[in-house]
Structure 1
């Protein structure tokens, strides 16, 4: 294993993390911005008002996107195992 192989696996790992966490991050951002906009309009600055909808949205997103996230992790695992099997 040389530096190029290690960098290739690290690049694939970072890309897998970004793609797998993308749906949850986007859902949290959309809900957060929406709640912040509503708070700015109504001037209700309740701290728990931001956390509960975000948690619910992220849990729903995880439930919906679980097959996609699992497929991305499986692809990365297969990549690493195939590289190990071929001896890099």
Structure 2
């Protein structure tokens, strides 16, 4: 039976997992953007491609580097959710 406590546990676990995955992808990009912004402020170069391209490359690199971990983590989350759903139904 799906109780409010079980629902909260499922949703909180999903939100936590997604937050961790997003942080793995976004935080390196933010740090790269900060470094590029400091460089742009120091040299007074205001080129939009200079601020966009490094962040894009860092994000793509993190997808390549952490893609296997992300896939495994999401698979574990979905397997756990479906197992819990099976236990709740019968």
TM-score under structure 1 length normalisation: 0.92
* Alpha-carbon separation, structure 1, partners of 2:24 and 2:36: 18
Cα contact 1:20–1:68 (8 A) shared by 2:
no
Aligned position for 2:77: 76
Which contiguous aligned blocks of 4+ residues in structure 1 show a shift greater than 4 angstroms?
A: none
Aligned residues: 88
Question: What do you get for the CA RMSD once the two structures are aligned?
Answer: 1.1
Please list, as runs of the form range in 1=range in 2, the aligned pairs for 1:2-41 lying within 5 A after superposition.
2-41=3-42
Tell me the secondary structure at the aligned position of residue 27 of structure 1: helix
The structure whose RCO (Cα within 8 Å, separation 6+) is larger is 1
* Alpha-carbon separation, structure 2, partners of 1:48 and 1:34: 14
Aligned position for 2:59: 58
Structure 1 gap segments, 5+ residues each: none
Structure 2 gap segments, 5+ residues each: none
1:35-69 per-residue CA deviation (whole Å, 9 max, x = no partner) reads: 00101110111112111111111001100100110
Q: Tell me the CA shift for residue 34 of structure 1.
A: 0.5
Tell me the secondary structure at the aligned position of residue 86 of structure 1: helix
